[in-house]
Structure 1
Amino acid sequence: MSTPQGDVTIRAARPEDAADIRAIYAPFVQETSISFETVPPSVETMAERIASNLASHGYFVAQSDAGILGFAYASPYRSRPAYDRTAEVSVYVAPEGQGRGLAQALYRMLFAHLAARGFHTAVAIVTLPNPQSAQLHERCGFAHVGSLQEVGRKFDQWHGTAIYQRMIGQADLHSAVRRVEASDTVALAQVLTLIQTSFAYMTGRIDPPSSMHQLTISKLAEAAKGSWLLALGDPVAACLLATPLPHALYLGKIAISEDLRGRGVLRALLAASEALARSMSLSRLELQVRLELVENQKIFGKCGFIETARNAHPGYDRVTEITMQKTL
């Protein structure tokens, strides 16, 4: 899923973006001390970096019709295992993209990505002096926690660095929940795959079978027109379908990728749903859980939902699902 920023879209980087990203980065290497690299990486090396960081920490670009205007990525802060939940972050914006809030937008997506993957702290290293970068990082919630003097030599001069730190948390997840539009076929395809993968364990456990077996991209697109298809991540790693009813906002198709479970992603989706319900003057969230899926009933119970009814699917003379509600 991508996130719009005016006429620019923030999306996950791809290795094939390497040439455009290098074109932005090379002048920072060749003409400034902002980067401590002294020779711009090749396109091939940049593609390798993108692929590596995508797999481990995250890499995003600001894409316009004219091309890529900026990028942000996270990488390991230190190699020792105790630092595994700390990431070093960087952001670069081309001159023609500066002054448009793209650096902040890139960082927002990156922080949400890090939060969903259990990272605790982000660290940014800023070459001194660089008041524009200092102001940017402070606007993005970083605190200046220290400085090092004369640690890098470039252009026959010694340069110090400032260390900025920002904690990663639930607020970063909440800000990244977005609505998927019916026209966004790429995101819809990702949602469909996520639902099918996440619901696969129900096969053979529940009766009647899950409706996900009849779900298609076109059906999701139709649902997204009258409901709010909320999602998080690029590619989509969590989703739910919120449908307004006269008495409550009904939540269905709740799916979270296995690697993100237990990291606050469900609570972020529910918080977005609560805000949506309040904007519609609805005082409850409602969902249904299959009778056999006791573990899911317990999860939603911990999120404030209580059982309000027991129901049978058409053609069944026994209880097959439980209705649960949360009062806002």
Structure 2
Amino acid sequence: MNREDAACPQEDGNDDAARHLARLLPAPVTGDLSPEQFRRQKDVLMNRIDADRAAEPRRDRPAAAAPRPVRGFLRPAVLVPVSALALAGVLAGGVALGTGDDHRAAATASASASQGAGGLLHHLSTVALASEAPVVRDDQFLYTRSKVQGADLTSGKAVLDPLHEEQVWSAQDPRPLKKLGLVRTNGEDLPVNAEFGDEDGTPAGLYRPTYNWLARLPTDPEGLLAYLYAHVRKDPGQETDQIVFEQIGSWLGGLVPPKTAAALYRAAAKIPGVREVPEAKDAIGRSGLGIAREDTRYGNRTEWVFDKDDYSFLGSRDYLTRDTPYGKSGTLLSSSAEIEHAVVDRAGQTPGAAARS
């Protein structure tokens, strides 16, 4: 059964458009913003989108062709929810572009070579199930070190930011927290705040997935899919199949309980439109096996990359599959490469320091 959202996007749905494209971007790191600053920066972006659309010649066209910038999407490498500052950063400060010809060629090759992904995903599930499960206490932090790159859309065109290293510490305390962890990027440490609107703090859950919360998810693929389709934040213009696929991908870049990881891969195999890509690359150019799904309605493709030898998750990338006002087909929207994962006792502590203490 196809689980796509039946609602179609409206040509004038600029707010929906802003949410869709932001979902593809890595959550940026910024200083905290007041509600007034947040609203002002959102207004700036929406005014630019309105101006771009007003400048376009009116013509009859399918609603699916309308480009959509989006809600803040959590980069798969980061187990941290979108907070007020992260969303404000997406709206105010941007997305990145890739080089057109190379990515267009890669997109064409991937599309022609892709096939059903059930075999690879079931193998990934078997490998995950055989992996060792760490013990993670509620007073600890999950540590992720990765290389990331994203695009800035505020000029009306996607402009790639430089590839840079990012370290993230995600609190495992399941209680509602106002400080969810820490991000270190470009030599600066910044707190990760509770999700926008969570005045009493954000508890463990779908958009703040602690290790032990993930361990309590259904491990039967059909039950897990039913949970995800019922609880993901719906976008009236985007395929729900794609939203669920991206939600699963957002968890693969961290430490996931083996039984949950196995169920996630088998669940992904049941989502319509998921394909295997024989050759895919992460943000630092490591070549691997790919699992991909294209949102044909809005012309973007999300790929997960796995090591060809040990089947570990290497990273992900998102790029355009059709020409839009923001960039040509093949334009890179975001990419990541996983470097290191660990469990540590406090935010700011690195795995090497933890071993020495």
Of Structure 1 and Structure 2, the greater helix share is in: 1
- Give the TM-score category using the shorter length: under 0.3
Flag the structure with larger Rg: 1
Alignment TM-score, normalising by the size of structure 2: 0.23
Of Structure 1 and Structure 2, the greater strand share is in: 1
